A and B are shown apart, each in its own frame.
Chain A
């Protein structure tokens, strides 16, 4: 028989006992719905955790710093660079080299310094940090009041609400648009003393141009426009810059040439007066690439740190969670598939005569089998559609209930359950598959009916 004819006959047969078949399909529906709802919870939680993780910048970021000395490097298993007895310094050249590694998106210095913020008569020593423009996506800025930095070097500041509380500002919003003044320690290279230059000429011949005296520290001031207020720490409090009270654009901070911890070491080393970074936060396009990028940076001779293993065990956790939730859903589906077997076995018994007639008219065993499979598959499709519908509903209820619960506790609502397209498709496909499997026994039983017995006059 042709597929269209099979489908037509199967649909007709299913229509003949509407109530029973709707109930059977409903049974599959409930099974699929519980499976979909369980998995949607798994998917939703995973999405939520994944989103948190990726936005926290924890799992796609490698913290790069330089080894203090060869001893520390060897003690902690660092890789000795191919040339050299001293660990390489983390300078602009190293940063450029890191940016050339595939999958590296950015390598930004982490700059947090102590400065003085003043306005009118008030002033306060506080912690100030530089944020790259990519920090805009950080979760902390979900609740940003005002604006984010308009440019990489804009003289603008975003203030943590904690700071306004320290200043006893009653209406923090009034700060937006006002100007504050930042006082900071600038690292200024010293010009070569002409006398010393002459001395160096005598002592070192041609090499005097490579000599430098180091630098001095100068107090500077910079007026900043307050453009935004934020409550939470950026990077989920996981970076040193998180704890700053005032955030400025990172490039602006870099240009200010603020003195850092490593500058003191730079001052006595032979490395000239180039800028040396304390740490570079290297962001990788995909958390799965963190490992290989980290290896390459270590090979360059630097100290690296990432929360790589934590992400792997988190993935394992979700695989197990999905499995457990899936098992609960599958139990409901197993019960439902027994319902299909029951319905179809009943249909074979009821339609003995009809099957016998069809065989007498020339239907092959295969035709009869296909007809029953078509009926089972149609029941499955119906059940799958019902199930996905119910599953989406249940997922909605879960989210609604969670949001209500969180709201009662003054927390922001979260979508803990999600039904992506693939889950809907898989739900329907699985329903059809289970139904076809449940149809195997009834179909072969129907196909084996002896037509002579089946149509014997009763």
Chain B
């Protein structure tokens, strides 16, 4: 680590409404991932404050943040981030185990989540035996099994071909529409953002570019 302070995100003032589907757009290094990690409670801002669902994240200790990640946030990543040694069922079950849910309750919720992403038949496979699209669907099931209020998606289509990517994006949109989940999507694919997000936020050099010019032709 260098001793020079690099401000990945600087002076960002942003509010995302409940139930919104927002896309964070910008070139690599613009600070969108760092902002997302801060929203996920995995990174700490050096100043300012972060409020999600009435909780001020910078006031929470490590255990409080862990609880916040477990109960309030669902996450989907570009690299899927499934645990290779665990079966599909166990991967989806993991957040419920961390939340100390009962075995029966876990089974019902995991099965429901897998059914929702269309993978009810592949519960006993390991991630390595699945295609990229299927793995991302498992990750989606895992992110919603805890019924989080906020879904954070970090380049969820980055590792997928465009057809599968669209499939995944349609599911995320569905979660947003049908389950009222607030979605923050980080992407550098403007076309994807334009198609699915209801609001686009552009970032560059750790700052949010504001004004209608920046928002371009968002729908």
Distance (whole angstroms) from the CB of A212 to the closest CB of chain B: 94
Q: Knowing A1-B97, A1-B98, A367-B98 are in contact, say whether A359-B83 is a contact too (CB < 8 A).
A: no
A77 contacts partner chain B, Cβ-Cβ < 8 Å: no
Whether the Cβ atoms of B95 and A362 lie closer than 8 Å is yes
Cβ of B84: which chain A residues have Cβ within 8 Å of it? 354
| B108-121 near A? 1/0 per residue, CB < 8 Å | 00000000000000
A364 engages B40 (CB within 8 Å) = no
Contact between B42 and A365, CB atoms less than 8 A apart: no
Which residue of chain B is the closest to A366 with respect to CB atoms?
A: B63
Query: Distance (Å) between the CB of B98 and the closest chain A CB?
Result: 5
Q: Mark B76-94, 1 if CB is under 8 A from A, else 0.
A: 0111011111100010001
The interface residues of chain A lying within 8 Å CB-to-CB of B82 are: 357
A353 touches B85 (CB 8 A): no
What is the number of residues of chain A that contact chain B, defined by CB distance less than 8 Å? 26
Q: Mark A341-376, 1 if CB is under 8 A from B, else 0.
A: 000000000000110111111111111000000000
Nearest residue, chain A, Cβ from B158: A457
**Residues of chain A in range 1-37 having any CB-CB distance to chain B below 8 Å:** 1-2, 5, 9, 12-13, 16
Query: Of residues B94, B95, B97, which shows the largest number of chain A Cβ atoms within 10 Å of its Cβ?
Result: B97
Say yes or no: is B201 at the interface (Cβ < 8 Å to chain A). Answer: no
B43 within 8 Å of A by Cβ?
A: yes
What are the residues of chain A within 8 A of B98 when measuring CB–CB? 1, 358, 361-363, 367
Contact of B71 with A by CB under 8 A: yes
How far apart sit A358 and B97, CA to CA, in the bound complex (Å)? 11
Contact partner of A365 (CB less than 8 A), chosen from B66, B71, B78, is B66
CB closest residue in chain B, given A457: B79
* Known contacts A361-B98, A362-B66, A367-B98; A452 and B77 CB within 8 A of each other: no
B86 touches A12 (CB 8 A): yes
Q: Does A260 contact B (CB under 8 A)?
A: no
* Chain B residue total in the interface (Cβ 8 A): 32
User: Would you call B100 an interface residue if the criterion is a C-beta within 8 Å of the partner chain's C-beta atoms?
Assistant: yes
Residues of A within 8 A of B40 (CB): 360
- Any B CB within 8 A of the CB of A451: yes
* A73 in the interface (beta carbon within 8 A): no
Bound form: Cα–Cα A457–B69 in Å: 20
The digit string for B138-159, where 1 denotes a CB below 8 A from any CB of A, is 0000100010000000000000
Indicate which residue in A357, A366, A457 contacts B83 across the interface (CB closer than 8 Å).
A357
CB of A175 within 8 A of chain B?
no
Q: Is B37 an interface residue (CB 8 A)?
A: yes
A449 to chain B, nearest CB (A): 11
List, in ascending order, chain A residues with CB within 8 A of B68's CB. 362
Q: Which residue in chain B gives the minimum CB-CB distance to A353?
A: B81
Report the minimal beta-carbon distance from A366 to chain B, rounded to whole angstroms.
7
Asked if A361 and B70 make an inter-chain contact with CB atoms under 8 angstroms apart, the answer reads yes
Establish whether residues A362 and B69, one from each chain, have CB atoms under 8 Å apart when the complex forms. yes
> Which residues from A are CB-within-8-Å of B211?
none
Across the two chains, which residue of chain A brings its CB closest to B95? A361
Answer yes or no: B168 CB below 8 A from chain A CBs: no
Residues B42 and A360 in contact, CB atoms below 8 Å apart: yes
> Is A2 a contact of B100 with CB atoms below 8 Å?
yes
**Cross-interface CB contact of B79 among A2, A362, A451, A455, cutoff 8 Å:** A455
B58 → chain A closest CB, angstroms: 16
CA distance A278 to B169 in the complex (A): 108
Closest residue of chain A to B154 (Cβ to Cβ) is: A457
Q: Does B57 contact A (CB under 8 A)?
A: no
Q: In the assembled complex, how far is the CB of residue A354 from the closest CB belonging to chain B, in whole angstroms?
A: 5
Chain B residue contacts of A458, Cβ below 8 A: 79
Task: Name the one of A12, A360, A363, A366 contacting B81, with C-beta atoms under 8 angstroms.
Answer: A360
How distant is the Cα of A451 from the Cα of B70 in the complex, in angstroms?
Answer: 14
- How far apart are the CA atoms of A361 and B72 in the complex, in Å? 10
- Docked complex Cα distance between A1 and B40 (Å): 21
The smallest C-beta distance from B81 to any residue of chain A, in angstroms, reads: 5
Of listed A12, A360, A362, residue having the most chain B CB within 10 A? A362
Say yes or no: A361 contacts B94, CB within 8 Å.
yes
**B136 CB → nearest A CB, Å:** 14
A359: chain B residues at CB < 8 Å are 42, 66, 69
What residue of chain A has the Cβ atom nearest to residue B155's Cβ? Answer: A457
CB of B216 within 8 Å of the partner chain: no
Contact (Cβ within 8 A) B83 A452: no
Q: Given the complex, which residues of A lie within 8 Å of B62, measured CB to CB? A: 364-365
Complex Cα distance, B71 from A12, in Å, reads 25
B71 A362 Cβ-Cβ under 8 A: yes
- Residues on B lying within 8 angstroms of A by beta carbon are 37, 40, 42-43, 62-63, 66-71, 73, 75, 77-79, 81-86, 90, 94-95, 97-100, 142, 146
By Cβ-Cβ distance, the 6 closest A-B pairs, closest first, are: A362-B70, A364-B66, A362-B69, A5-B97, A16-B85, A457-B79
List 19 A–B pairs whose Cβ atoms lie within 8 Å, in order of A's numbering: A9-B97, A12-B86, A13-B85, A356-B81, A357-B81, A357-B82, A359-B66, A361-B69, A361-B70, A362-B66, A362-B67, A362-B68, A362-B70, A362-B99, A365-B66, A451-B42, A452-B37, A457-B79, A458-B79
Q: A361-B98, A365-B62, A365-B63 are in contact. List 7 more A-B contacts (CB 8 A).
A: A357-B81, A361-B70, A361-B142, A362-B146, A364-B67, A452-B37, A457-B78
